[in-house]
Amino acid sequence: MTEAFIVQREIQIAAPPATVFAFLTDPQKIISWMGLEAATEPHPGGLYFLKGLGSDRTRAARGAFREVVPVHRLAYSFGWEDSEEVPPGSSLIEIDLIDKDSGTLLRMTHSGLPNAAQCAAHDKGWAHYVNRLSLAAAGKDPGPDRGVTGNG
């Protein structure tokens, strides 16, 4: 039986789903909490691009949106340019936004990672960035992003 390498995160955010959704799809809002440059085309088949993650600020991630249900759900492929282990489009990120307790419950699953080391590295990255997203979407300044080492 093949072991699944999956990262899961859940966090309550003090902002409505529409606000959180914007922070996940609008390039200007994305870079307030993750990366230095972003480009998105939030429709099935559309581009997902992010540059400036981790300790190597020149590193870029690329994928394509697979599912976009405004203010409720996103699914997009994901991978790192110049990576043999996690190349662009090789993994899948699914995010559900649930209206709960006067805010949003974000549930994220990152599947398709190739091994335990990549799973651990991406888990560390998601812990960092989901907390930064929570702050930014709630109208707080997450501060400068110092990045996370060891992703992909």
Task: Read off the pLDDT of residues 6-33 as tens digits, 9 standing for 90 and up.
Answer: 999 999 999 999 999 999 999 999 999 9
Task: Read off the pLDDT of residues 78-107 as tens digits, 9 standing for 90 and up.
Answer: 999 989 999 999 999 999 999 999 999 999
pLDDT recorded at residue 145? 81
In the DSSP assignment, the letter for residue 109 is E
Instruction: Give the residue from 75, 78, 51 showing the smallest Cα distance to 65.
Output: 75
Residue 40 in any domain: the answer is yes
Residue 144 in any domain: the answer is no
Instruction: Give the residue from 106, 80, 102 showing the smallest Cα distance to 91.
Output: 80
Task: Indicate the pLDDT class of residue 144, thresholds 50, 70 and 90.
Answer: confident
Residue 80 in any domain: the answer is yes
Residue 107 in any domain: the answer is yes
Assess whether pLDDT exceeds 60 at residue 57. Answer: yes
pTM: 0.92
In the DSSP assignment, the letter for residue 76 is E
First to last CA, the chain: 24
CATH number at residue 75: 3.30.530.20
Residue 105 in any domain: the answer is yes
Residue 33 in any domain: the answer is yes
Residues 136 and 145: their CA atoms lie apart, in Å, by 12
Residues 146 and 24: their CA atoms lie apart, in Å, by 19
